[in-house]
Each structure stands twice: as C-alpha cells, then as structure tokens.
Amino acid sequence: MSTTIDTDPTAQTQRVALVTGGSGGIGRAVVERLAADGIAVGVHYAGNKAKAAETVAAVIGNGGRAIAVGGDVADEQAMSAAFDAVEAEFGGIDIVVNTAGIMILSPISTLNLDDLDRMHRTNVRGTFVVSQQAARRVRNGGAIINFSTSVTRTQFPTYGAYVASKAAVESITLILARELRGKDITVNAVAPGPTATALFLDGKDEATIATLSKAVPLERLGQPDDIAETVAFLAGPARWVNGQVIFTNGGLA
C-alpha cells in the first residue's frame, strides 16, 4: 500500500503573523486588517494583557485565529518565547510587524537622559531584538515590517531623541533587507505621519493637533486603518518592494 504526498508548491496554507504592540493603536488596526486577509495573528503586548485579550477576542469573533503573547521587546529571551508560542500555535511565522514603540518629546537641551535611555531601549534595542528573531524564523516568502516616523524628514522641534531612535530603525531595516538575500523575505519600514493614536495625541493641545492636521495636504490626521492598509500591502502583494521606507503620511512634506 502506497501513500501519495501532495508536494504541489502552489498548495496554500494559512499565513501567520506576529504583531508587536498589537493590543492598541496602530498595532490593533494592523492585527484586525491582517486577520481580515485570513492571516492567523499573534497579538503581542508589553504590559496590558487585558487589551490584548480584547483584540484576540475581536479577531476570533470575526472568524479569525489569534492568540496573545506577552513580553518586553528589548528582552531577547522574552521575545524568543513569544515567537516560540506563535510557532507552536500556528505552525510557523510568515510576517513580523514591529509596531511597539514609545515616544517622549522634549527639546534636546532639556531631555532627561533616563528618558532617552528608556526610549532607545524600546525603539532601537527592541526593534533589533525583534528583527533578529524574525530574520532567524520567518519562512521563505515572508515579510518583516518595522516602524519609523515621517518626522525623520520633517524635523519637528522636540522630536530629536525620538527621531534619532527611528533613524536607527530605518538603518536596521535597510541593512537587514540586504542581509536576507536569497531567502525571499522582504524587509521594509513604514513611516507614519500624524496619526490619531494615544501615542501621538498625548500631551498635545487642540491647537497643536489642528495645526498638524492642516500641515497635511489631505487636511486631516491619519487613522490607524490608513497605516494598516500599508502594512497589509507590504505583508501580502508587495513582493517587489524591499529595503524601503514607506512614508504613509497623506503627503506631509
């Protein structure tokens, strides 16, 4: 008696994503957008397990597959465990989206250096740790998507330390794209403009928010769903976009 094994290379299995910072803001919008495309999702959280559980429940309620995984993105052991959990649940990882980040605004002359260290630990080391795990684990045909900011071009005052961390993210991303030559894995960064999330709105008065809205030719703040559309493009059909920073900002100069 013989057994026939289907080795058709076109046979499709469900793709799997891990989204860091996936419990709120842009991260949650990305989770829901990828799930809508039929992708199973690991929803990462750093401290708010309840919000991650809500996001998972929303995905499952809409017929998708998701689990929550926790951990500090800058802790290599915690992130290794998070990747392990997603692989154990869904069989592998095809897409890693690293939205986790913190933003502390201050003039360079008065920034508390402890805040600088805290921000760079999450934004730079965290991106490096997640990218390192992704480079080792993402399956051929996959995508790694990191997050920068459009302020690397606009140079707004008080953003100096934050932009420095995101410039590092861009460098990590572009070099990793070249290092993964031959593996059919794309590596890109998304650089949002002013987007209506708690991270962006915190500490800004209505006049500042209005000014930033009008700075965009479309004359509005971006929404998390706007950013999620770019991620879905890079995670799916954009197989010829690699080693790029995509400025998703409504035309902000």
Q: What's the confidence (pLDDT) of residue 12?
A: 55
> What mean pLDDT is reported for the chain?
92
d(C-alpha 134, C-alpha 191), whole Å: 20
Q: What's the confidence (pLDDT) of residue 90?
A: 98
Catalytic residues: 162
User: Longest C-alpha distance within the chain, in Å?
Assistant: 78
Q: What is the DSSP string of 64-123?
A: --EEEEE--TT-HHHHHHHHHHHHHHHS---EEEE---------TTT--HHHHHHHHIII
Domain architecture of the chain: domains with CATH: 16-247 (3.40.50.720)
> H or E stretch including 224?
helix 224-235
> What's the N-to-C CA distance of the chain in angstroms?
68
Q: What's the confidence (pLDDT) of residue 205?
A: 81
Q: What's the confidence (pLDDT) of residue 5?
A: 36
Q: What's the confidence (pLDDT) of residue 216?
A: 86
Q: What's the confidence (pLDDT) of residue 209?
A: 81
Q: Name 131's Cβ contacts closer than 8 Å, sequence gap at least 6.
A: 96, 98, 144, 146, 172, 173, 176, 187
Task: Please say if the pLDDT value at position 3 is more than 50.
Answer: no
Q: What's the confidence (pLDDT) of residue 9?
A: 39
Q: Name 239's Cβ contacts closer than 8 Å, sequence gap at least 6.
A: 186
pLDDT in tens, 90-131: 999 999 999 999 999 999 999 999 999 999 999 999 999 999
Mean pLDDT value across residues 191-199: 85
Residue 133 — pLDDT band, cuts 50, 70, 90? very high
> H or E stretch including 45?
strand 40-45
Residue 211 — pLDDT band, cuts 50, 70, 90? confident
Q: Name 234's Cβ contacts closer than 8 Å, sequence gap at least 6.
A: 143, 145, 186, 188, 190, 241, 246
pLDDT in tens, 8-51: 333 358 999 999 999 989 999 999 999 999 999 999 999 899 99
* Strand 40-45, strand 16-20: pairing: parallel
Residue 239 — pLDDT band, cuts 50, 70, 90? very high
The tokens for 54 are: 């809500």
* Contact between 18 and 83 (Cβ < 8 Å): yes
pTM: 0.91
